[in-house]
Amino acid sequence: MKGVIFIFAIVIVFTQSCNMTKLSNNYSQHRIAIIVHGGAGNYNSKRLSDNKQALYKKYLRQAIDSSFSILESEGSAEDAVIKAISILENAEVFNAGKGSVFNSNAKIEMDASIMRGDTKSAGAVTGLRHIKNPISLAAAVMNNSEHVLLGGEQAEEFAKLYNVEFEREGYFKTEYRYKKYLKAKKRDKVELDHDEKMGTVGAVAIDINGNIVAGTSTGGLNYKKFGRIGDSALIGCGTYADNSSCGISCTGVGEYFIRSSAAHEISSLMKYKSMTLKEAIRSVLFDQIVPMGGRGGVIGIDRNGNIACDFTTKGMFRAWKTISSEKISIFEKQ
């Protein structure tokens, strides 16, 4: 009889425990979320045909669906962000990874950065020419190096130690970008290319444990000169994550995001001025970046899993997915 009662008791405890885990998972899963962007610009909707829009949206969908699957199966925000950005880097239509723009020497020079909101550890890379997925190398720096930012050929030496995938220069080259390079060469002018399609990519995710991770990846500016490094490689400027506030990825004319420490500033406004994520993003874009003469867009997720996106341009390639909502959009604001 004692044995039966004991087994009965164990069954009850076990059932309760399962229910609690389920409840806890349900609770947590309510805040898992992924948001991605593929750049902000003053796109001319006439030049961006329906077919092209559909192509961009296809990749944005792939990015959020793949990342969300990771989050749903209790994977980490870090894996979700790397997955989303890798998909966009591999898509030739964005200015990151394959499809990156050329510098004034007709070379690819890619930058990327990633940051975790729990440990505030970060990794970033600049001036890459042969790394298939710069975001993977940024993550390798974050996880295996005592440094945060590595640059140029020497950063690629580091990549060899961690089995990061290389590609020949030809892999990254697209006819579309090469034509843009030739056009800029004719005028000998750096293009702050946001009046057409810019296409820096980024992602922010929050996982079942409430950890927020943000990442950004870019080919930079078409026909850029003098080894220019933009905000996408810079922690606090193009990318920032802090579990006590938010995760942020920026896109736009990077110089203005550097001068305002944009990603970090959004976090500060939330922490110290009690702004919501949406308010903080809007304030940095319209009260700081625009008055300086800059433009661009920002995506973010706060510690409660709220997502936000805003931009000063006509459009921004973006998509997000949560338990209760999803959206893929280019022009209209949310």
Kindly list the catalytic residues: 200
By CB under 8 A, is residue 157 in contact with a copy of itself? Answer: yes
By CB under 8 A, is residue 258 in contact with a copy of itself? Answer: yes
Q: Which is nearer to a copy of itself, 83 or 116 (CB)?
A: 116
Task: With CB under 8 A as the rule, give the number of residues binding a copy of itself.
Answer: 46
The amino acid that residue 22 corresponds to is K
Q: Which is nearer to a copy of itself, 105 or 334 (CB)?
A: 105
Tell me the C-alpha to C-alpha distance, in Å, between residue 121 and each of 117, 143, 214, 244, 310: 8, 8, 11, 14, 26
* Residue 99 contacts residue 219 (beta carbons within 8 Å): yes
Contact with a copy of itself (CB under 8 A): which of 42, 53, 121, 329? 121
- The SS3 assignment for 10 reads helix
- The SS3 assignment for 21 reads helix
Return the structure tokens found at 87: 């998909």
Q: What is the DSSP letter of 225?
A: -
- The SS3 assignment for 251 reads strand
- What is the closest distance, in whole angstroms, from the C-beta atom of residue 165 to a copy of itself in the complex? 18
- What is the closest distance, in whole angstroms, from the C-beta atom of residue 99 to a copy of itself in the complex? 22
- What is the closest distance, in whole angstroms, from the C-beta atom of residue 54 to a copy of itself in the complex? 35
Contact with a copy of itself (CB under 8 A): which of 55, 192, 290, 323? 192
By CB under 8 A, is residue 235 in contact with a copy of itself? Answer: yes
Rg (C-alpha) for the chain, rounded Å, is 21
Distance CA 7, CA 10 (A): 5
Return the structure tokens found at 322: 């949560």
Return the structure tokens found at 63: 């990015």
Residues that bind a copy of itself (CB under 8 A): 115, 120-122, 126-127, 145-155, 157-158, 190, 192, 224-230, 234-237, 240, 254-255, 258-261, 264-265, 268-269, 272-273, 292
